[in-house]
Structure 1
C-alpha cells in the first residue's frame, strides 16, 4: 500500500508541475512568496468553519474541504441533501444494505449499514441518532433553507469528538439577510411528488427573525421493482406462497422541515423541527417487501449561542443545545401467510427451532422510542501571541434513550409451541423483553488547538481533544496540519488526523433481537488518516485540487455469528485499509459558462485477507456545466458515473454493474420582477441503475427511473 501511495504522490508532483515551478523559482532568484500574494488568485470569498471551529479561507483550512453554496444547489437542481452530497468528490450516497433504504454517506470507501462514521451537523450542532449512531431513520432533508453545506473528507475528532471518523458535514441554514423578504415556492413532478416552501426574514429593531418551512410529499417510483426477497427464500424452503415479490419497493415520504431563528447583537437562538410521516419501509425491515408498514419520526433541536464581547484579544463563545427525538415504526416483517421456524425465545431460529409457526396476519413489530440529548460547549480563541491563534474548548453532553415496542413474536410474547399466531400485538415496553433497555451516557471533553504561522509561507496547525465517556472510558485524538504557500498560485497541505467512533446504544445494549445482540464490552473504533493536497490555479478562472489519502481503521464493530444460535453479537473484529485520490476542477471559462467536475478513485480492503470492502464504488465521476444565455436564463446539464464496485468475499454473485446518470436543470431569470421558473430532469435516459443489496434480494436495489419536476417561486 505504501508503494502505491508513493507512486500516486509522484504522479501528483508531475501533474502539478512542481519540477517546472522549482526551475521558475531558481530563474527568478528564489522569489519570496508571501501570504498576501495568494489573495490575487484565491481571494477570501471561499471559507469553511468546520476545519478549525472558526471561519477560515478554504484554501488555507487544515483539511480537505468542499463548500456547496445555495447558488450551486439551485444550479444542480437538488431537492434534498442527498442530491447535494452526491456531487462531492469522494462521497457516494447509497441505500443501506441492511434493511430499509436509509441513505448512507460513504466517504472514501468507509461505510456501514447505519452510517455512524460520518458526523452530520445542523449549524454546528450534532443530531446523530443515539440508538444506532447515524442520522435519523429514513432521513430526507429539503434544501430550500440551506445557505451552504460544508464537507470535510477525513477525520475531525480533534475538533468534534465522536463520529467525525470518515468525514464531517455541516448544514448551514440561511440567515435573515439571505431570505431577502418573503419567498414562496412550489414544485410538482413525477411519482406524484409535491413540494412547498416559504421563507421570511424581518428586523424588529435590533432583533432579526428568520423563518422557513418546507414540505415534501411523494408516492415514490413504483417502477423500482424487485423480483424476489427474503420471504421468497422462506417460501421455497417451507412450501408457502406468502412473498409479495415481484413488486415495487415502498419509497413514499411525507417530510416537514422548519427553522426559526432569533438574533440580537451577540446572541443567536436557532430552532429546528423535522418531521417524517408515513415513510415507506423500502425493502422492508427484514428485507421482505412491506407494503403496509411505515415510519414516523419527530426531531426537535434548539441551540442558544452567545459570543461574549471582550475588548482584549480573546473571542469567547458559549453554546447550549437540546435535542429530543421520537420515532415509531410499523413493520410487517414477514407478510401474511408466512410459516417460519421459531425458537423457545419466540424469535426466528433455523438451527434449533421448537416448531414451525404460521403467521396468517404476518410477523408484526412496532419498535420505537424516545431520546434526549443536551449539552453545553465553551470555547475561546486567543490571538495575543504573535503568529499564533490558540483555541481552547471544553464541554459536557448527556444522552439518554428509551426503547418502546409491541409485537406478535419474540421473548415474553410466544415460545414457539403455538402453531398459529394471530396479528394481536403485545406491548413489551418497560419490560425485560423490549429490544433496548433504557440507556444513558455522559460525555466530558477538553481540547486545545494552535494555528502557528511560523514563517510567512508556512502555517502549522496542531490540536488534540480528550473525551471521557461514562460507559467505556477515555479517548485522545490528535491532529497535525502543515500548510505551505508553495507559490503565488499553488498551495500544499500535509495532514494527519486520528479519530474515533463511539459504540451506539444498539451495539452495546440490544437484547431480545432475533438478528443482532449488543456487547457492553465494546471499545471505540479508531482510524489514522494521512493526506496530501495541492490547490493549483494556473489562471484566475481555473482551479484544480488534487488530494491524496491513506488510512487504517482498527477495531471496527461487526456483528459476529454466535456459535449457539442464529444471532450475531457486536464485536471489535474488523480492520480496514484504504488509499486513493480525488481530483476536482472548477473552470469559469467566461462570464456565461462554468464547468465543474471531480473524479474520485479509492481502494479499500480488509488487511487480514486483502479482500475488497464490498459495495462501495472504487471510482466516481461527476461533471456539470452552468451556461447562461438569453438575458439571464441558465442551463445546467450534469453527469454522474459510479463504477468499480465489488461484492463481499462470500457473495457468489457477479460484481455490481456500473451506471451513468444524466440530468439537466433549466432556470429562468426573474420575470415581472418577482417570479422565477425552474425545470429539471433526472436520469434522463432512464438508466437501470442499481445499488447493492444482500443475497436476500439478489437483484440489488433499483434506483429511481426517469423523472421530471417543475418549480415556480415568487419573492416579494
Structure 2
C-alpha cells in the first residue's frame, strides 16, 4: 500500500522542497502500518520486576538519584511500560500519571495541564529531549501528540511542581524529560500496523555497537484519516476529520565522553473545527540537535552541551462558496530558532555532600512570522492579519543568561537529605528573576520515606504576547508584560509494604500571580489577582508473581488526584488504574482514565449558533478504557502480533474548547481498534 503524505490543495509548490525526504521513507510506508511494539528486541517479554525502592531518576538534580531522595515530586515511565500500554502518543502516557490532565485543542494539538495550572500551547510545562528544550521561540509551545515519536524513548521523567531552580522559566508548573535509547538493540526491530479511521503506521529501530561507541537510529511513519468531529465550533454539522500525517527520524552517536543526537519530526494535521466549507491545514517541522561532552575526574564531573531547536510552521486556510469557488484564502509562515549552551560542574566533597554549579545561555530568534490574507470576497489582496514587530524589527531576537547552584547533603547515616538550590536568570526585557528551592527528604527505614519541598518559579512572556500586531485589533501584544510567578509547597509520604508494593500520599499548594491574560480581546496584561491552587494525590503500586500458567508477572498501579480550583475547563478529580500482566508469550495491558465534571465558565457555548447544540452540556464526568494484548509464539521467535482497543466502550467524551470556552467542545477519540505485527532480525 502507498501512504499519501501530502494533502494540501493550495500552493503545492510549497511542499516540493520536501519530496526527496518523502521518497527516502516510502519504503517503510509500503509496510502494512502499526504502532510501536517494544524496546527490548530480543527479550520482548523477559521483563524482570523492578524493586520500587531502587528506581533511579536524573531530572531533579541532573545527577543520578534514588527516587526517594530526589528533591522533587516525580514519576518515571520506562520503555517496557510504554510498549506494553500500546501508547501511540506522548499524551497516551501522560494522561495516566497523577496530577496530569490532557486537553485537546481546537487545532488537534494537545495541551498538558499539571496540577490544575492552565498551560495554553504548553508554555508553562517544559519538555526536554536528551536535555534539549523543545520550546518554540515565538509562541513558546510544543505538542505531546503525534508530532513526537515515542518508539525511541528509553524513559520519561515527569516533575510535577516548579522546576525553575535548575531549568529556568519554561519549567513553571512542571518538567517532562524524555531520554532516548542509549544502547543499540541486539536486533533490528520493525513494526507495522493498521487501525480504525484508516490509520496506518510503521516504525524501525536499529543500531550498532562498535569499539568504544554506539550508533542508534529510529524512524516512524504515520498516516491517519482521523475520526469525524461531528460539529464545527459554531455548532453546525461538520465534515472534517482529525487527520494526521507524521514522519520522524532520530539518530544518536555516543561513547563514554561524547554524545551527538538529532531528532527530526514532520507533522501535518487538519484544523477540524471550522465549518464544512472551510479548510485549514497545519504543518510543523521541528529539528532538534545537540552535542554533549562529559569529563569525569576523582571528585569532579563536567558536562557541556551545545544545542539548537528549530521550528517551521505553515498553515493554509480556504473558504469556498456554494459553487466550490475559493472566496477566502490566507496562509501563515513561522520560522523560529532557539540556540543554547549549558555547562555544569558537579563536585562530590565526600559521599554525603555534593555541589552542582551550572551556567546557561539561550538565544531565541524569529526568522519569519506572518499571517497573510491573500484573497477575500473572491478578490486578490495582500493584507497582513498578524505579525510581530519589536521597535520596527519584524524578526525579533532575545536571549537569557543564567547561573544556578545546588547543594545536596545527607545526614544521620544518609537518612536525612537536604537540597538547597537557586537559579538567577537575566533577560534584557525585564529585571533578573531568582528561583530558589529547598527540599528535605527522609528515609525513616526500608518501609517509609518522606519529602517536604518549597520552591518558586516564573514564566517569561512569549514574543507573541509581547510584540504581536493584528489588523483586526484582537489580542495584540504588550511589551510591558512581567513574568508570571508561582510559589509552591509540597509534601510526600511513601510507605513500602514490601520492595514491590507501596502507597504514596502527596499534598501541594501553589500560589500564582502576575498571570498573563487577555480580557475580551484586549491586549495581554498581567492579572492583579492571586490564584491559589491546592490539592492532593494518592498513588498505589504493586508488582508480584502469580502461580499461573499465563500472565504470571503482574504489575498494577492506581492514582487519584484532587485539585481544588475553579479554573474553567479543569476537572477537579482525575483517577487512573493501570494493569500489566505478562509471561514469555503474552503481554496484556488495561488502563482506565477517569475525569470528573469540568469547571464551566460564564461564556460556555455562547458562540454556538444552533440553539439545541448550544444547550448541550458536554462537561460531565467520563471514563475510558484502553486495552492492549501482544503475543509471541516462543521466546526465540522473531515475530510478535498485537491487538489493541482505545476507548473500549465508546464513551462519547469532550474537552471544553480552551481560549475561549464559548465555542462548541472538542470531541475526543471514539472507540478504535488496531492490529500490528513486529519483526526482529
In the TM superposition, residue 372 of structure 1 has moved relative to its aligned partner by 1.3
Residue 533 (structure 1) aligned to one of 488, 492, 504: 492
Structure 2 partner of 1:190 = 196
1:506 aligns with 2:464: yes
Partner of 1:665: 628
* Counterpart Cα distance in 1 of 2:394 and 2:624: 44
Query: Is the counterpart of residue 175 in structure 1 residue 175 in structure 2?
Result: no
Match of 1:18 in 2: none
Asked if 1:369 is matched to 2:334, the reply is yes
Choose the corresponding residue for 2:542, options 587, 592, 600: 587
1:59 corresponding residue in structure 2: 68
Secondary structure of the structure 2 residue equivalent to 1:500:
strand
Q: Does 1:675 align with 2:679?
A: no
Which of 283, 292, 314 pairs up with 1:305?
292
Cα deviation for residue 205 of structure 1 reads 2.5
Q: Would the alpha carbon gap of residues 374 and 488 (structure 1) be closer, same or farther in structure 2, given more than 3 Å must change?
A: same
Normalization by structure 1: what TM-score? 0.81
Match of 2:516 among 531, 535, 557: 557
Cα distance, 1:175 vs structure 2: 2.0
SS at 1:568 equivalent: coil
After superposition, residues 677-716 of structure 1 pair within 5 angstroms as 677-693=641-657, 699-716=664-681
Report SS of the residue matched to 1:171.
strand
Provide, for residues 407-426 of structure 1, a one-character-per-residue CA deviation record: whole Å limited to 9, x for no partner.
Answer: 337xxx9xxxxxx7325352
SS at match of 2:524: strand
Change (3 A) 1:568 1:212: same
Are 2:409 and 1:452 equivalent residues in the alignment?
yes
Is the counterpart of residue 617 in structure 1 residue 582 in structure 2?
no
**Bigger Rg, structure 1 or 2:** 1
Contact 2:157–2:176, Cα closer than 8 Å, also in 1: yes
3-state SS, counterpart of residue 101 of structure 1: coil
CA deviation after TM superposition for structure 1 residue 263, in Å:
1.2
Q: Is the CA contact (8 Å cut-off) linking 2:110 and 2:143 kept in structure 1?
A: no
- Give the structure 2 partner of residue 78 of structure 1: 87
Contact 1:437 1:509 in 2 (8 A): no
Pair 1:689–1:386, CA change in 2 (3 A): closer
Give the superposition deviation at 1:387: 2.3
CA deviation after TM superposition for structure 1 residue 316, in Å: 0.6
Q: Structure 1 residue aligned with 2:370, among 390, 401, 405?
A: 405
User: Which residue pairs with 1:9 in the alignment?
Assistant: none
Contact 1:462 1:480 in 2 (8 A): yes
**CA 1:362–1:544 in structure 2 vs 1: closer, same or farther (change >3 Å)?**
farther
8 A contact 1:282–1:290 mirrored in 2: no
Q: For 1:213 and 1:705, how far apart are their aligned partners in 2?
A: 28
Distance apart, 1:385 and its partner CA? 4.8
CA distance in 2 between counterparts of 1:68 and 1:282 reads: 32
Q: Counterpart of 1:641? A: 594
1:280 aligns with 2:267: no
Shift of 1:649: 3.8
Structure 2 residue 109 is matched with structure 1 residue 102:
yes
Q: With the length of structure 2 as denominator, give the TM-score of the two structures.
A: 0.85
Aligned pair in 2 of structure 1 residues 449, 431: CA closer, same or farther (>3 Å)? closer
Task: For residues 146-179 of structure 1, give each alpha carbon's deviation from its aligned partner in whole angstroms, at most 9, with x where no partner exists.
Answer: 11111000010000001211110011111233x2
Q: Which of 320, 323, 329 pairs up with 1:336?
A: 320
Partner of 1:225: 230
User: 1:577 matched to which residue of 2?
Assistant: 532
Alignment partner, residue 350 of structure 1? none
Contact 1:281 1:290 survives alignment (8 Å): no
1:600–1:619: 8 Å Cα contact kept in structure 2? Answer: yes
Say if 2:124 is the partner of 1:159. no
In structure 2, distance between residues paired with 1:545 and 1:433: 49
Change (3 A) 1:289 1:599: farther
What is the CA distance between 1:265 and its match in structure 2?
2.8
Report the equivalent of 1:482: 440
Superposed CA RMSD: 2.6
Decide whether the 8 Å contact of 2:115 with 2:563 is kept in 1: yes
Is 1:440 matched with 2:397? yes
Quote the Cα distance in structure 2 between the aligned partners of 1:643 and 1:696. 18
How far apart in 1 are the matches of 2:446 and 2:426? 44
Q: 1:429 to 1:225 in 2, by over 3 A?
A: closer
Closer, same or farther: CA 528–424 of 1 in aligned 2, 3 Å: same
- Following TM superposition, by how much is the alpha carbon of 1:145 offset from its aligned partner in structure 2, in angstroms? 1.1
Match of 1:131 among 134, 138, 141: 138
| Separation of aligned partners in 2, 1:713 and 1:139 | 20
CA contact 1:274–1:299 (8 Å) conserved in 2: yes
8 Å Cα contact 1:436-1:511 kept in structure 2: no
Trace 1:139-158 onto structure 2 (pairs within 5 A): 140-158=147-165
Pick from 382, 390, 400 the counterpart of residue 347 of structure 2. 382
Structure 1: which 5+ runs fail to align?
A: 1-39, 233-244, 339-358, 414-419, 562-566, 605-611
Residue 534 of structure 1 aligns to a residue in which SS?
strand
Please state if 1:325 is matched with 2:307: no
Q: Distance in 2 between matches of 1:383 and 1:492?
A: 24
Match of 2:563 in 1: 602
Equivalent of 2:380 in 408, 415, 424: 424
Change (3 A) 1:404 1:43: closer
Q: Is the 8 A contact 1:41 1:489 kept in 2?
A: no
Count of residues in Structure 1 that have an aligned counterpart in Structure 2: 609
User: Residue in 2 aligned with 1:296?
Assistant: 283
The equivalent residue for 1:254 is 245
d(CA) in 2 for partners of 1:67 and 1:432? 39
Separation in 2, partners of 1:568, 1:423: 30
Shift of residue 453 of structure 1? Answer: 1.0
